[in-house]
């Protein structure tokens, strides 16, 4: 039995905010509905979830001392992470809250398909936590070892160090850092990530959700025609947002 906090369907919302190039974060508002609808069609035509268009920053209020040191010595640091593609482990009953930021268009994937394609739940950690500090110390120590190996021309060691750093950065890309004002937003997304694009088949799809109407346009009817054109099997439910969560 499940307590209602784990979903058999993991969701991708193509209507999430565009990236803010100045901050390496998402903008505060979601993309226009028409853009989200075009993104939905593009994903299904290509049968691919691409990596995101920006590299997220992993942030911490970092202490130079391994033991945490004096609080007054802490400095803000960021590491640019690898690009990822994302889904969310959200039960249907909680989708309306998620839609405030990500819109009312969603592609649902079977949980096992997501697992089989190397997605993993993100590790949530507070910016000022010891876990965040340890991440930065590990990355800094590896970079210092790489610099030393370059100076001393240790070719074999250098290659191993570079491989280790690459694997560490991939791991950090599955980490979501946030501050304690974001528990009701970032923390509730229940995000899963992959550092590889998700090339899916229609068998991986559990459900597609589209609103009946938006600003007077019958998007659901349009989408049903589109789904037939690209031969989405009829066994895959195409459900209106209103019928799924607003009845």
Q: What is the pLDDT of residues 161-205, one digit of tens each?
A: 999 988 888 888 888 877 777 777 777 889 999 999 999 999 999
Could you read off the pLDDT of 112-147 as tens digits, one per residue? 999 999 999 998 888 777 777 787 778 878 888 999
Q: What secondary structure does DSSP assign to 157-205, as a single string?
A: HHHHHHHHHHHHHHHHTTEEEE-TT-TTTTGGG-EEEESS-EE--GGGE
pLDDT tens per residue across span 25-81: 677 778 889 999 999 999 999 999 999 877 776 666 555 565 555 555 666 667 777
User: Residue 124's pLDDT is what?
Assistant: 86
User: The pTM is what?
Assistant: 0.84
Contacts of 140 (CB under 8 A, 6+ apart): none
- Angle among Cα 34, 214, 84 to the nearest 5 degrees reads 40
């Amino acid at each position: 039995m499940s307590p209602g906090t784990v979903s058999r369907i993991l969701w991708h919302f193509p209507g999430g905010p565009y990236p803010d190039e100045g901050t390496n974060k998402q903008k505060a508002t979601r993309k226009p509905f028409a853009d989200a609808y075009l993104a939905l069609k593009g994903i299904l035509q290509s049968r691919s979830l691409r990596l995101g268009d920006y590299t997220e920053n992993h942030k911490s209020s970092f202490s130079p001392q391994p033991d945490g040191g004096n609080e007054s010595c802490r400095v803000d640091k960021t590491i640019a992470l690898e690009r990822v593609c994302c889904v969310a482990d959200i039960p249907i009953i909680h989708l309306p809250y998620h839609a405030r930021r990500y819109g009312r268009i969603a592609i649902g994937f079977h949980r096992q398909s997501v697992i089989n394609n190397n997605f993993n739940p993100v590790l949530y950690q507070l910016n000022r936590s010891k876990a965040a500090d340890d991440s930065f110390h590990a990355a800094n120590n590896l970079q210092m070892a790489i610099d030393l190996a370059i100076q001393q021309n240790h070719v074999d060691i250098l290659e191993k160090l570079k491989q280790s750093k690459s694997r560490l950065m991939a791991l950090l890309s599955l980490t979501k850092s946030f501050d304690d004002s974001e528990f009701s937003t970032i923390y509730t997304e229940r995000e899963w990530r992959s550092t590889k694009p998700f090339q899916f088949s229609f068998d991986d799809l559990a459900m597609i959700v589209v609103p009946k109407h938006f600003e007077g346009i019958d998007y659901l009817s349009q989408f049903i025609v589109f789904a037939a054109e690209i031969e989405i099997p009829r066994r895959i439910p195409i459900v209106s947002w209103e019928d799924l969560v607003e009845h």
